[in-house]
Amino acid sequence: MSEALRVRDISVYYPMRRGVFSHVSNYLKAVQNISLDLDEAEILAIIGESGCGKSTLAQALVGLLPWHSGTYSVFGKNVDVQSPKAFSEVRQSVQMVFQDPYSSLNPRQTIAQILSYPLLVRGESKKNSLEKAKMKLELVGLPADSLERYPHEFSGGQRQRIGIARALMLEPKVIVADEVTSALDVSVQAQVLKLLEKLREELGISLVFISHDILTVRSFADKVLVMYKGREMERGTVKDVLLNPQHPYTQALIASVPTLDFERPPKVSPLLDAEWFSAMDAVSSL
């Protein structure tokens, strides 16, 4: 099995500006020295509490946020992480599905316009773009006549399917799915997860699956990366990390889910106390 993505020591900083001239006074270190590997047709889940940097990492992987440092290769090809042009090429292979199905689609455009746009800007004819749009809609379980409708005419689950169809328009081999089920009803969540699994099986697509739902991650992903305050706490196979967590933060994260029915509920380390969190806060501020 070949490697789809390889990331080493990615850091993403947000500049903090002050004063009349908005000079940069400091940086918010949203992601610090994270590494990950993703093989073909594999699902890597990234979990952690809100604000830990999951979505920032996801957006950096597709070039929507600038990298402060790190190295990146996509299917064995090294990417110049400081070059916007390089990420334009990356997006041919790595696409993203956003969390909110309501705000991620332009309400003034028809579904045909939304889906065909990525191909039109790359020189594809309008006719071919529309034909491919029909195919992608059918692939995600929506009728072809959806092309002439607007986003507000669809339910949340249908909009998320449209978001997935848009991500598929460039025939990517990796999809970064950022909390794609968090805004959906439970029954619709299951349908979207089933669709993503279908894409993996039929198209060989790899997934970076951002989530805070540990139960879903346990049944859906192959590997997992645990984040806290922009840093990696633990990573490995789902079985190793979720059934036998070694890091005290991972133990606390799992223990915080009262309905978790793991075979061996983890024991929370005595190290997990106020002093540990204070130490982590101090490290994150460096």
Sketch the domain layout of the chain as residue ranges: 3-93+173-284, 105-171
- Please write the tens of the pLDDT for every residue from 129-172: 999 999 999 999 999 999 999 999 999 999 999 999 999 999 99
Determine the pLDDT at residue 275: 52
pLDDT for res 203: 94
The pLDDT score that the predictor gives to residue 22 is 75
Look at residue 20 in the predicted model and tell me its pLDDT. 72
Most confident of 27-31, 41-45, 120-124, 262-266: 41-45
Which residues lie closer than 8 Å to 100 by C-beta, 6 or more apart? 183
Residue 136: what pLDDT? 97
Confidence at 281, pLDDT banded by 50, 70, 90: low
Going by pLDDT thresholds of 50, 70 and 90, the confidence category of residue 273 is low
Instruction: Give the percent of the chain with pLDDT over 70.
Output: 90
Kindly report, residue by residue over 226-265, the tens digit of the pLDDT: 999 999 999 999 999 998 999 999 998 888 876 545 555 5
Q: Which long-range contacts (CB under 8 A, 24 or more apart) does 36-39 make?
A: 36/5, 36/6, 36/7, 36/225, 36/235, 37/3, 37/5, 37/6, 37/7, 38/3, 38/4, 38/5, 38/6, 38/174, 38/206, 38/208, 38/223, 39/1, 39/2, 39/3, 39/4, 39/206
- Distance (Å, rounded) from C-alpha 62 to C-alpha 69? 15
Cα 104 to Cα 98: distance, rounded to the nearest angstrom? 7
Residue 229: what pLDDT? 93
Reported pTM = 0.88
Superfamily for the 3-93+173-284 domain: P-loop containing nucleotide triphosphate hydrolases (3.40.50.300)
Read off the tokens for 215: 């139960």
Query: Mean pLDDT across the stretch 86-107?
Result: 92
Amino acid (1-letter code) at residue 72: Y
pLDDT at 212: 87
Q: What is the pLDDT of residue 227?
A: 96
pLDDT category of residue 23 using cuts at 50, 70 and 90: confident
Higher pLDDT, 112 or 17: 112
- Check: CB of residue 272 under 8 Å from CB of residue 250: no
Question: What is the arithmetic mean of pLDDT over 195-199?
Answer: 95
Task: Give the chain's mean pLDDT.
Answer: 89
* pLDDT above 60 for 46: yes
Q: Are 9 and 71 in contact (CB under 8 A)?
A: yes
